[in-house]
Amino acid sequence: MTYRQAIFSARLDTWTPVIRSLGYAVIGVLLIDSLPALWPLVLLFGLPAFITIAAMDREGVE
């Protein structure tokens, strides 16, 4: 690996988490923006899953 490749790799390693977190932020904003349309889906799928997980946790299922 040349010096130039090492510098580029170090810069890429530095910026990758920043770019990833910006991507997560954009996805989060888009999801929050469309949240009113998604509420029926959240209730339809999320609520039974939450109840199931809570029941399994109460019974001690691993």
d(CA 23, CA 17): 10
Range of the domain at 7: 3-59
Question: What is the per-residue pLDDT for 60?
Answer: 65
Question: What is the per-residue pLDDT for 11?
Answer: 75
Which pair of tokens denotes residue 30?
A: 């888009």
Counted domains in the chain:
1
Whole-model pTM? 0.40
pLDDT tens per residue across all 62 residues of the chain: 788 888 777 777 777 788 888 888 888 788 777 777 777 877 787 778 777 877 776 766 65
